[in-house]
Amino acid sequence: MQLLIEQRKAKIEAIRALGVDPYPYRFDPANTTREIVADPERFSEQPVSIAGRLMSIRGKGKTAFAHIQDAEGRIQIYVRRDAVGETPYSIWNLLDIGDIIGVKGPVFVTHTGETTVQVTEFVVLCKSIRPLPVVKEQMVEGERRVYDDIRSNVELRYRHRSIDLIINPEVREVFRKRSQILQSVRRVLEDRGFIEVETPALQRVYGGANARPFKTHHNALDIDLYLKISPELYLKRLVVGGLERVYDLSKNFRNEGIDRTHNPEFTMLEAYQAYADFNDMMALTEAVYVESCLKVNGTTTISLQGREINLEPPWERVEMVEAIGKHAGISVENLSDEELLSMVRVHDPDAPAVLSRGMLIADLFEYRVEKELTGPVFVTNHPEETSPLCKASRTRPGFIERFEPYILGYEIGNAYSEMNDPVRQRQLLEAQAAHREVDGEVPPVDEDFLRAMEIGMPPTGGLGIGIDRMVMVLTDQASIRDVIAFPTLRPADARDADTP
RNA sequence: GCCUCCAUAGCUCAAUGGUAGAGCAGCGGACUCUUAAUCCGUUGGUUGAAGGUUCAAGUCCUUCUGGGGGUACCA
């Protein structure tokens, strides 16, 4: 490795010795590889100029073929010594795979049929000194076949995303789509009169969800602060203040496990609409998903892990207890608490006997039903013990007006008809806080939030949508690490762990 | 956290407990329509780390590190 880098550094000096700066300041790529490949005829008369990274080189003495890759694709170039000149051709011979160059010249089609730029002029834009993993590929019946499969080296892909992006065009596509989805989500909300606001990432009192927070310290104030686990309590303060439609689209941080659908920092949309209830939030959820899906896939049907799923609204709605009956064949109403507990203990032998009936129902749903939900489906009316921030169900006593949308077993959001009775809100939060001894994840009571509630919040619908999972669903990626450019990983080297 | 599988050259992978190898990349040479270019020659290794068993360890054992999959936590 060190040898390879030394060899390339020597080439930099050789290039400089020929009077050429291997790190110039700018270049004007007037064309893209994609537009040229799409319509070579158009460029047969006037020369094109493109820039990109050298991805393969086939030297043949006084001529050479190579491929260069830009943001949108690859194109073959053809370099002849008698076309570019003696000195430039010796510079050409100092180039490696991975270098970035700009080329100019007319376009032609080789007699094997590949669109190619006949290089009349080229410039070195960046000499690379660290070799890329070499991927050999071949087109077979229009299908791209990779011989050395770099995708299998996931560690390299996540730790060195630059390399992953260079080598795997489909990875670039996922992040391009992620950007389009964020744009689309914002557009749906702006079109409906929502305004984007920001809530503190550093919070004195964390809340709005049950999760372990990251703790940090502010030196000047000498106080401990927590990273935001949810923007909820701050967004509601803004609704109290008269910003009737607000949303926060930003990172949340939860100090918990990492798996295929969880990353410690993740992107969340939370939207609050005054004078609305959870029915309005269902319509909003459908709009956010459908609009974004149309934007990146051009259709409302997605292909997800081999399944075809249609997102066309209206999505199915099913109450949680009905879903348990339908998918697990259990009629919760006819079971005693003891029977429920024993059913939960089939899946979690350590389930504490003190669990309330509502929590047992929620657990049973999680163990027996969640995976079965192909969806899209809104699971509604959760047991009241599952959240203190939600209003009671209008139809089912002991339950609340909440829903979670599911697609292929993924919980992709959460919404309430928000609690706005300040007296009841205080009771619920204080009752929950009393359980902190038992459940370390219960947040402390946020007095300032309760004070805002006492001033009065209009009836409000609130919606949270996990954006990373949304990107997974809309781009058919099985791991959250494939939709977050720099997922949280253990330090590769133990020494890194001590580096601040 | 627990279970399980994996870690060998820049990349993809071989090597029955017995001299660490191949292809590609790299380096030198030949070649003016190649495309997994071809041909000749060639460099490159603390086998993830540390211990142990053995005459002998990439291979067996233990621990550690990193990763994958599963599971738990994540209302």
More confident residue, A32 or A495: A32
| pLDDT at site A121 | 95
pLDDT tier, A343 (very low <50, low <70, confident <90, very high otherwise): confident
Considering all nucleic acid strands, name the nucleotide whose C1' atom is nearest to the C-alpha of residue A404.
Answer: B75
Q: What's the predicted TM-score (pTM) here?
A: 0.90
Considering all nucleic acid strands, name the nucleotide whose C1' atom is nearest to the C-alpha of residue A80.
Answer: B32
How many Å from the CA of A138 to C1' of B13?
19
pLDDT 10s digits, A298-339:
999 998 888 889 999 999 999 999 999 888 888 888 888 888
Q: Which residue is nearest to the C1' sugar atom of B13, using CA?
A: A148
Strand B nucleotides within 7 Å of a protein CB? 1, 9-13, 23-27, 30-38, 43-44, 65-75
In degrees and rounded to multiples of 5, residue A259 shows phi and psi of -155, -165
Place of tokens 């003891």: A338
What is residue A352's three-state secondary structure? coil
Q: By C-alpha distance, which of A54, A191, A185 is closest to A474?
A: A185
How many Å from the CA of A149 to C1' of B47?
22
Q: By C-alpha distance, which of A243, A247, A241 is closest to A189?
A: A247
Q: What is the mean pLDDT of residues A36-59?
A: 91
pLDDT 10s digits, A189-213:
999 999 999 999 999 999 998 888 8
Which residues, in sequence order, are CB contacts of A433 under 8 Å at separation 6+? A442, A443, A444, A445
Which residues, in sequence order, are CB contacts of A13 under 8 Å at separation 6+? none
Q: Which residue is nearest to the C1' sugar atom of B39, using CA?
A: A60
How many Å from the CA of A150 to C1' of B52?
36
A205-209 long-range contacts (CB < 8 A, ≥24 apart) are A205/A443, A205/A444, A205/A445, A205/A446, A205/A447, A205/A448, A206/A230, A206/A443, A206/A444, A207/A232, A207/A233, A207/A443, A207/A444, A207/A446, A207/A449, A208/A232, A208/A233, A208/A389, A208/A443, A209/A254, A209/A443
Q: Render A421-458 in DSSP notation, one character per residue.
A: -HHHHHHHHHHHHTTTTT-TTSPPP-HHHHHHHHH---
| pLDDT at site A290 | 96
Considering all nucleic acid strands, name the nucleotide whose C1' atom is nearest to the C-alpha of residue A382.
Answer: B75
pLDDT 10s digits, A431-470:
888 876 666 667 888 999 999 999 999 999 999 999 999 9
Q: Which residue is nearest to the C1' sugar atom of B66, using CA?
A: A492
Place of tokens 């997974």: A472
Q: By C-alpha distance, which of A93, A119, A96, A88 is closest to A106?
A: A119
How many Å from the CA of A112 to C1' of B41?
31
CA distance A206 to A225: 9
How many Å from the CA of A158 to C1' of B67?
11
Q: Render A276-327 in DSSP notation, one character per residue.
A: --HHHHHHHHHHHHHHHHHHHHSSSEEEETTEEEE-PSSPEEEEHHHHHHHH
Q: Which residue is nearest to the C1' sugar atom of B43, using CA?
A: A3
Considering all nucleic acid strands, name the nucleotide whose C1' atom is nearest to the C-alpha of residue A366.
Answer: B75
pLDDT 10s digits, A133-189:
766 654 443 344 445 555 667 777 888 888 888 888 888 999 999 999 999 999 999
| pLDDT at site A125 | 96
Per DSSP, which regions of A110-205 are E strands?
115-118, 121-126, 137-140, 143-146, 195-196, 202-203
How many Å from the CA of A58 to C1' of B26?
14
How many Å from the CA of A214 to C1' of B22?
50
Point out which residues pair with A245 in neighbouring strands. Answer: A273
| pLDDT at site A470 | 95
The answer to whether residues A461 and A277 touch, using CB atoms and an 8 Å cutoff, is yes
CA distance A124 to A52: 10
How many Å from the CA of A494 to C1' of B49?
11
Q: By C-alpha distance, which of A440, A447, A444, A483 is closest to A182?
A: A483
- In chain A, pLDDT over 90 holds for what percent of residues? 63
Burial of A448 (0-12, 13-18, 19+ CB in 10 A): exposed
How many Å from the CA of A441 to C1' of B72?
16
Q: What's the complex ipTM?
A: 0.86
Q: Find the length of chain A.
A: 500
CA distance A77 to A45: 16
How many Å from the CA of A497 to C1' of B65?
12
Considering all nucleic acid strands, name the nucleotide whose C1' atom is nearest to the C-alpha of residue A145.
Answer: B36
CA distance A118 to A107: 6
Cα A154 from chain centre: 17
Q: Which residue is nearest to the C1' sugar atom of B23, using CA?
A: A148
The answer to whether residues A69 and A97 touch, using CB atoms and an 8 Å cutoff, is no
